Amino acid sequence: MVTGFCHRAAVSACSLCVAGLLALTPAAAAAGPRAGEPAPPRPPATTPGPSLLYRSGVQVRPHRGTPAPPEVSALSWLVADSGSGEVLAANDAHRELPPASTLKTLFALTVLPGLPGGQQHTVRYEELADVGEGSSLVGVEEGHTYQVADLWRGVFLSSGNDAVHVLARLNGGWEHTARRMQDKARSLGALDTHVVSPDGYDAPGQVSSAYDLAVFGRAGLHNPDFARYCATAEALFPGDGSSYPIENTNRLLTGEDGVAPYPGLIGIKNGYTSNAGNTLVAAARRGGRTLVVTVLNPQDGGGLTVYEEARALLDWGFAAAGQVDPVGSLDGLRPPSRTPVSAKPVAAAVAPDDEGSDWSGTAVVAGLTGLGAGAVALALRAKGGRSARD
């Protein structure tokens, strides 16, 4: 329409304009740029509205020649660029599913800023009385005094629901924390999440989605404490008389149980319940780019399938980055008054930028007072692995 209008105006105005327009005819355009002239730039990709991510099935917009995402069995998954927030591909991104302990990402986002890591607290009986049966535990004991930082390591490494209960009490109580988590989710544009139990323990009506959990994971990487805790592979936890080693239950980080550690992995959080199945939010950095992937409840294989499907999606994401147009944005549902997440996560310092690195994620070892990292690893192997599973 615009070209036709200009042509008519030019005909009535001056023959010079007509000559200029003749040079822009479809035939001339099809011939391409003249010799020595650069090719016209590719139009910038536009990020579609959130509706595309609400569609069922795999959503991806590949350029010609770009391989399709791998076929995985998870009920829902998503791959996004942490820096830009662009979603590279997803499958049923907004499907509401029980999150298990991946909900601890939202718990940490909500509670971490208000509790100094050096603060000390003596645990009372009532703080542990309501820990759900069968919960993963780090070994918090009544009457023992802990630093808040110790409790956070118990949350991130051992997925300790006992540590979550104590921290929630310090934050104002269980119900208060659940309400604050709900408010935090809404402020981030995570509209699928309904919080009932802040530790992720199965509860009627408690759900999240691959989209929301990626939002939480991405936001967490911009918090220095969150980023450090989620990347910690091994630590010491205070016990009765002496500390004992704990290890992160994220096998992509530690390489335990026959799962090869993923190069450049940063974290973030894994989970499991009989209702939720295996769930995982992970992030990795390669070639200056950080990707976030969410995998919820794989239907094939055993309990380790979630890691291999996350590995396949991360590999595809790094290979396809720049070769697909985004299908959505992790900022797409954020209230307009909220500032989008900044482009550079602090967690970029946790993993190296070069693809050739042999980074396994196990370089981050915390709480080694009086005991070296090698001794921690030996003690973990002697103990048979981790103190709690998730």
Rounded alpha-carbon distances, angstroms, from residue 308 to 1, 11, 251, 300, 302: 51, 64, 10, 11, 11
Q: For residues 284 and 163, give the distance between their C-alpha atoms in angstroms, rounded to a whole number.
A: 26
Q: Does the active-site annotation cover 269?
A: no
∠ CA(201), CA(204), CA(207), 5° rounding? Answer: 70
Largest CA distance in the chain: 95
- From the candidates 76, 82, 104, 387, give the one annotated as an active-site residue: 104
Query: Which neighbouring-strand residues pair with 279?
Result: 271, 296
- From the candidates 76, 82, 84, 159, give the one annotated as an active-site residue: 159
User: 220, 213, 197: which is closest to 75 by C-alpha?
Assistant: 213
∠ CA(80), CA(278), CA(378), 5° rounding? Answer: 100
- From the candidates 101, 158, 197, 243, give the one annotated as an active-site residue: 101
Q: Does the active-site annotation cover 159?
A: yes
Q: For residues 276 and 213, give the distance between their C-alpha atoms in angstroms, rounded to a whole number.
A: 14
Q: For residues 227 and 231, give the distance between their C-alpha atoms in angstroms, rounded to a whole number.
A: 6
Tokens 């607290």 sit at which residue? Answer: 121
Catalytic residue numbers, as ranges? 101, 104, 159
